[in-house]
Amino acid sequence: MSQTVEFIRNNRKKHLDWAIQLCRIPSISTRPENKPDVVASVKWTHETCERIGLKSRMMETGGHPLVYAEWLGAPGQPTVLVYGHVDVQPTGERALWDADPFEPTLKDDWLICRGSSDDKGQVLLYLRAAEAWLSTEKRLPINVKFLIEAEEEIGSPNLAPFVEKHRDLLKCDQIIISDTGMYEDGWPTITYGTRGLVYNEVRLSGPKHDLHSGSHGGVVGNPVTTLAEIIATLHDADGRINIPGFYDDVVNPSDRERKIMASLPFDEAKYVTDLGSPAPFGEKGYTSVERRTCRPTLDCNGIMGGFTGPGASTVIPAKAMAKISMRLVPNQNAEKINKLFWQTIESRCPKTVRLEKHEHGAADPYMAPLDSSYMTAADRALKEAFGRDVAYIREGGSLPILPMFKRVLGADSLMLGFASPYCNAHGPNEKVRIPDLDRGAEAVTRLLGYLARQ
């Protein structure tokens, strides 16, 4: 292993050049005019896989193609599937960038370019590790499969069908993903849980058009008022969600988890001030860290209805609508929560208005086992490469691919994040901290070694 780690250290410059080459390709998956670039980024990845000695192919998905590569020469050893993506977000306004978003710039410790942290720089860590093993030992310590797609930034519309169709090809014992962040620069971080999501739209209608409130006020139901009343019932005075059955399947964080959360530095007052909010808010009995990661939430994301122009217009509006989403935690089930949500809305909706229901998608929460042998090996590899203890965090956002992988492939996911909390992914001047990538590559190299059964 020491020779292999040495290889990583001696090839930093070449590997930085890989990142520069890949980042230079404007693989914006949502823009049809960039389709050739998206394909070019997949091709670059495929060719690099082949060059370092993996068996690789580009595969069609119905949308953008993806790369499937493998090295399966370690019978009796575990098989891991590395997932990542080489497509990127649009750049937004050019004026907000200090340089061309697709002309990689080096500044101090940083590589600045769209895609540098999300997710090209992180995908490359695994190719670096594979190259190091294949160059020094002529083999990998375990079996490794790579699934590198190019539709992540548009919601991976073809990934689940692809995984279902190719479940034998993708069969594995564990999935490893580096598409998350670090708690602080230089602080190795494992994300072990994500929240689920249910997103709905409630539409209420009353009279067939807006009415004069002087002539008709007090005799017809007002959809705006009624919608506001219904939304107001969805939380109780303690900030708990008032939907019968909503908390039935919620698993509280274990004592070990609470200890992990309490051990991470977090300045609540600063957090709230930084967000520009006048005061902390949330469910009674929980800290802000708990509220934003391991407690379910319900938010009205938008509301519209009636007269909102300048001045006064005394109408009884004909309709009103609100978008309402819920973040879910283990072991809540998105389908069940969705049902409970609509039952509650229906039961609280008076006969004076009509209810129309719209759904905008759902995803289950995910939680990786904290005590798996993969987690233990990753902990050791990260600790050695970075020279400090690993931060364990739960993510407040949702990653629908995790429960999908678990359902279809039966495998858990290990999420090792190397993006800086200041990386500005999706924003202007996206960047990645090169020392963290270098240590990340070393950590991944060690991890492959530690996963081998003795």
The footprint of Zn ion (CB under 5 A) covers: 118-119, 179
Minimum CB distance to Zn ion smaller for 192 or for 341: 192
Minimum CB distance to Zn ion smaller for 118 or for 257: 118
Closest separation in Å from C-beta 23 to Zn ion: 14
Minimum CB distance to Zn ion smaller for 77 or for 116: 116
Check residue 153 and report its DSSP letter: G
Report the 10 Å Cβ neighbour count for 158. 20
The C-alpha angle with vertex 130 and arms to 128 and 132, in degrees rounded to 5, equals 70
Closest separation in Å from C-beta 300 to Zn ion: 28
Q: What is d(CA 40, CA 211) in angstroms, rounded to the nearest whole number?
A: 57
Q: What is d(CA 120, CA 50) in angstroms, rounded to the nearest whole number?
A: 17
Asked if 74 and 137 count as a contact pair (C-beta separation under 8 A), the reply is: no
Closest CA to 433 of 122, 18, 25: 122
Minimum CB distance to Zn ion smaller for 118 or for 173: 118
Closest CA to 368 of 434, 413, 336: 413
For 247, half-sphere exposure in the C-beta direction (CA atoms, 13 angstrom radius) is 10
Closest separation in Å from C-beta 274 to Zn ion: 24
Closest separation in Å from C-beta 149 to Zn ion: 10
The encoded tokens of residue 161 equal 């069908």
Coil, strand or helix: which one is 366?
A: strand
Minimum CB distance to Zn ion smaller for 179 or for 438: 179
Minimum CB distance to Zn ion smaller for 180 or for 325: 180
Closest separation in Å from C-beta 418 to Zn ion: 12
Task: Name 169's Cβ contacts closer than 8 Å, sequence gap at least 6.
Answer: 68, 145
Closest separation in Å from C-beta 85 to Zn ion: 6
Minimum CB distance to Zn ion smaller for 36 or for 397: 397
Task: Name 189's Cβ contacts closer than 8 Å, sequence gap at least 6.
Answer: 180, 181, 182, 183, 390, 391, 392, 393, 416, 417
Asked if 370 and 359 count as a contact pair (C-beta separation under 8 A), the reply is: no
Q: What is d(CA 430, CA 214) in angstroms, rounded to the nearest whole number?
A: 55
Minimum CB distance to Zn ion smaller for 157 or for 244: 157
Minimum CB distance to Zn ion smaller for 70 or for 118: 118
Coil, strand or helix: which one is 230?
A: helix
Closest separation in Å from C-beta 225 to Zn ion: 42
Closest separation in Å from C-beta 119 to Zn ion: 4
Measured torsion, CA atoms of residues 72, 449, 369, 404, in degrees rounded to the nearest 10: -30
Closest separation in Å from C-beta 19 to Zn ion: 15
